[in-house]
Chain A
Amino acid sequence: MEKEDRVVELPAAPSKDAVETALGELDVVFAFVFNRVGNRPDAEDLTQQVAMKAIPRLRQGASAISIRAYLFATARSVLASFWAAKFGLAEEELLEGMGAATGVAPAATESTDAAARATRILAALPDNYRRVLELRFLRGYSIKEVATELRATPGSIKVMQLRALRAAARIPFDA
């Protein structure tokens, strides 16, 4: 999937301003991707893939607004291929039957604040589910620590974590 043998006609070296504009846009792409993959190694990899695909346009020094739509469409397609490859599915299978919760499908609006998003998603869950995910994801507790805190066994916390994530997946990515 990483192989790209396509030949791209590259315009002449871009101006410094064009490079700066491009980097500013790629900053936004990085945050967009990170908010969906939740880890830096993958976010860096995918941002680089988006940049590679968009190089001819980025080099032209197009205005930020005109290039943004293209970058985001590219980021979405790169994300869909990333998850599809991870799960060994075709891209159409990946999104089949899934709601807007995963953020891969186009969203009308998007908040850039991932912490606020996490809090909002958790707030929409029943108490017991919210508690487990809050301790795990917002406070970084281990399974054992959550179990102690909630007076349960680690095994039952793992089961509850899975059920809570399934429930959280039903809550829209952006309200």
Chain B
Amino acid sequence: MPEDMEERVNRVVEDLLRGRSPRIRARDAAEREAIMTAAILAAGQDAHPRMSPELRRRLAALVAGDEPRRVDRRTALAAVAGLAVGALGVVGLDRLGVKPGPSPALAPVPAGVVKAGPVRWVPVAALADLREGEPVRIVAGKVSAWLTRRGETVTAVSTLCSHWPCVLDFQAQASTLKCPCHTGASFALDGAPLSDAYPELKPLDRYAVRVENGIVMVLGT
């Protein structure tokens, strides 16, 4: 049964009163005036809103020309494409006597993961070198990912925030990936969005991972 309009508008009001970005759907467009008015009234809870110190710092860096970590997706992909896999992408493979290099066969793309043109399995780490819950940043051709081990399985999620293309930081204490471009935007290590403030934040892009003979491979380019 479709939700009644008053329920949907009330859900938006609840989000606003909790200080969250409201969840709005295309079918709410008929009540856009009521919803935008609710936003204006919600602003009344803070008579003289000021920027948070974190936003102020970020904007000061932006204006001063010191904002090296915000990149558009295309630039980010082009930038990592130039890196040799061995430079940043491979953790401890030499020790095992494995030479990084193109995998002979083109791999099929599993469902639910990002397709980045012609792909191949790129060895990026030795499983033994990955510590439980401590992500490692890897590069597999044009793919740049945070690799996390949980038991015998390994996940790879994009290093770019799903909202703006900013490179995520690993926060060891909270065990999360945090976006430097938005106050409070963060993700679990498996890419699930955690931010209460941004209910519409999408999960991070995921990449396919395969472990063979103790070698972790990511479907890269």
Q: A: which residues have CB within 8 A of B? A: 2-5, 10, 13-14, 18-19, 22-23, 26-27, 30-31, 34-45, 47-48, 51-52, 55, 58-59, 83, 86-89, 94, 98-99, 101-104, 112-119, 121-122, 133, 136-138, 140, 143, 155, 158-159, 161-162, 165-166, 168-169, 173
Looking at B62-70, B143-151, B206-214, the stretch in contact with chain A turns out to be B62-70
Q: Which residue of B lies closest to A94 (CB)?
A: B32
- B13-44, CB under 8 A of A: which get 1 and which 0? 10111011110111011011111111111111
Is B216 at the interface (CB under 8 A from chain A)? no
- Produce 1/0 per residue, B77-97, CB < 8 A to A: 000000000000000000000
Q: Are A169 and B42 in contact (CB under 8 A)?
A: no
A115 touches B47 (CB 8 A): yes
Neighbouring A residues of B64 by C-beta, 8 Å: 13-14, 19
Of A13, A26, A39, A89, the residue contacting B21 (CB under 8 A) is A39
| Interchain CB contact under 8 A, B32 and A158 | no
Q: How far is the CB of A129 from chain B (nearest CB, A)?
A: 12
Docked CA distance A48–B208 (Å):
33
List 17 contacting pairs A-B, 8 Å CB cutoff, sorted by A: A31-B49, A39-B20, A44-B55, A48-B55, A48-B181, A52-B62, A58-B63, A59-B65, A87-B28, A102-B40, A133-B41, A137-B41, A140-B17, A162-B6, A165-B31, A165-B37, A168-B34
Closest to A112 in B: B48
- A-B CB proximity, top 10 nearest: A118-B44, A88-B26, A38-B42, A38-B39, A165-B34, A169-B33, A115-B47, A87-B29, A41-B197, A158-B6
- In the complex, B183 has a CB within 8 A of chain A: yes
* Contact with B55, one of A13, A22, A30, A35 (Cβ below 8 angstroms): A30
Q: Are the C-beta atoms of B43 and A35 separated by less than 8 Å?
A: yes
Interface majority SS (helix, strand, loop, mixed), chain B = helix
- What CA separation (Å) do A166 and B182 show in the bound complex? 32
Q: A40-B49, A169-B34 are in contact. List 16 more A-B contacts (CB 8 A).
A: A3-B165, A10-B65, A19-B63, A23-B59, A26-B51, A34-B46, A34-B49, A36-B43, A38-B38, A41-B20, A41-B184, A41-B198, A48-B55, A83-B32, A112-B48, A121-B41
A96 to chain B, nearest CB (A): 10
Chain A CB within 8 A of B137 CB: no
Roughly how many angstroms separate A136 CA and B24 CA in the complex, as a whole number?
Answer: 19
